Amino acid sequence: MQTQEKRWVRVAVWGLFSAAALAGGLSVFSPPASSQTPASQDVAPQTPPSHSAVMQKHRPAPLTVDSDPVPSPDAPGVEPGPVQFQGQSEVVTKQNGNFTLITNAYLVRLNVSVFDSSGHEVNSLPESAFKVDEDGVPQKIEEFAHEDQPISLGILIDSSGSMYDKRPAVDAAALNLVKLSNPKDEAFLVDFNSEPYIDQDFTQSIAKLQQGLSYIKVGGGTALYDGVIASADYLAKNSKEPKQVLLIVTDGDDNSSNATLQETIQRVQQLDGPSIYCIGLLFGGDLSHKEAKHSKQVLLQLADQTGGQAYFPRKLQDVDAVAEKVAHEIRSQYLIEYRPSKPMSLGGYRTIRVTADANGYHNLRVRTRAGYFPKVGGQSTLNPQAAHTNQ
């Protein structure tokens, strides 16, 4: 019998989240295991360097030697091209012997959907129809495109006990979404009950995703937030495509995560992370009215803050149609990139507002992510007190 290859993911959180904890990553992907049961042993801590190694002094280089952390652009052996200064948002480029300093070289990437007053997608707008504001300040659009771009997709399926009767329809919808997506898309599969588990690494194979779905065992609680954080981290570390999406299918409220909703949204924003699409199966008698209302608010916030959308089908038979709608929207989005006028070094959470206006249309509604944390020297400037979620 072929051994089922399954790796487990565990999100560990000690006390309240700190900026350092969030910046360090929260997910742990272990080597292949023979079952879905999480390992009980903790990873052994790394041995810290000895005091003598830490305190060892190095002889300074002669003054005639260029010891700057960034080599001179015209130094022998240095290839022409952009040079990123660590901790700054500036780039020096060399072309035909001339040097150019570009301030705030970091580009903010936005995946944008536009709808008319009737809720229908609008897919024929030119660049001139869009305006972008960051913290209320108009920004110049540097790149604009409207084409079907491949994505890196994470599929998160609730495998708590209440999902038992819903699994066949959910599995079919998940596979149908991938079939309707760009053939160059890559996707991975995660299920979450009391903890998140990875069932299939990134692949373009429908057969492998189908096999991954067969590994899912129903039972336990619902660790939605931990699953989102682990999956966003996995996307950031392993995805090939800059356009990233998470699809969540769940029927209940989070009752098992270490993280909170706000910490989850902050983590995704810190990673410059994916748009989150949610399918909430909140019908039936599994949830009270109060629990269903709270679950709906949670999924709406996850989607609104990241530029995705939350759907709430009224019956199980509608799930496949919702998945088809998600696949279509992802493939028909606009791409907008801009270079922030505010220096990256100032850090802090920044709000984004995109509007659209064109002849023949009234009250166009634009959907994209609500904001981001800028990265300085490759690190996010996360301030846990700065981000907020709409109530």
- Residue 320 CA to residue 374 CA, distance in Å, equals 37
User: In this structure, is residue 177 part of a structural domain?
Assistant: yes
pLDDT for 2: 41
Same domain, 11 and 124: no
Question: What's the pLDDT tens digit per position in 346-382?
Answer: 888 999 999 999 999 989 999 999 999 987 654 544 4
Domains: count for the chain: 2
- Asked if residue 64 is part of any domain, the answer here is no
Residues of the chain under the 70 pLDDT cut: 1-105, 376-391
Domain contains 391: no
Q: Is 388 exposed, middle or buried (0-12, 13-18, 19+ CB in 10 A)?
A: middle
pLDDT at 389: 33
**Pairing relationship of beta strands 334-338 and 108-115 according to DSSP bridges:** antiparallel
Question: What range does the domain containing 360 cover?
Answer: 108-146+333-380
Tell whether 75 is covered by a domain: no
Q: What is the pTM of this model?
A: 0.74
Sheet strand arrangement including 130-134: 137-139, 130-134, 350-356, 371-372
Q: What is the CATH number of the domain that holds 185?
A: 3.40.50.410
Q: List pLDDT tens digits, range 205-218.
A: 999 999 999 999 99
- Is 137 in the same domain as 260? no
Residues in the chain, total: 391
Query: Quick one: which of 102, 185, 112 has its CA closest to 143?
Result: 112
How far is it, in rounded angstroms, from Cα 206 to Cα 28?
26
Identify whether residues 252 and 185 lie together within a single domain. Answer: yes
353 and 220 within one domain = no
Q: Is residue 39 part of a domain?
A: no
Same domain, 199 and 298: yes
Q: What angle do CA 129, 348, 238 make, to 5 degrees?
A: 80
Angle at 265 (CA atoms; ends 263, 268), nearest 5 degrees: 110
Among 266, 199, 195, residue whose Cα is nearest residue 27: 195
Q: Please answer whether residues 162 and 196 qualify as being in contact, where contact means their C-beta atoms are separated by less than 8 angstroms.
A: no
Task: Identify whether 65 is part of a domain.
Answer: no
CB neighbour list of residue 227: distance below 8 Å, 6 or more residues apart: 9, 11, 156, 190, 192, 196, 248, 257
Strands of 83-84's sheet in order across = 83-84, 90-95, 98-103
Q: Tell me if 69 is assigned to some domain.
A: no
Helix ranges (H only) for the chain are 19-24, 51-55, 167-179, 206-214, 224-238, 261-270, 289-306, 319-331
pLDDT score at 288: 85
Q: What is the pLDDT of residue 196?
A: 96
The dihedral region occupied by 348, where left means phi > 0, alpha psi between -120 and 50, and beta the remainder, is: left
The residue to which tokens 């981001």 are assigned: 372
Q: For residues 361 and 257, state if they share a domain.
A: no
Query: Both 218 and 197 in a single domain?
Result: yes
Q: What number of other Cβ atoms are within 10 A of residue 234's Cβ?
A: 23
187 shares its domain with 296? yes
Shared domain for 231 and 316, answered yes or no, is yes
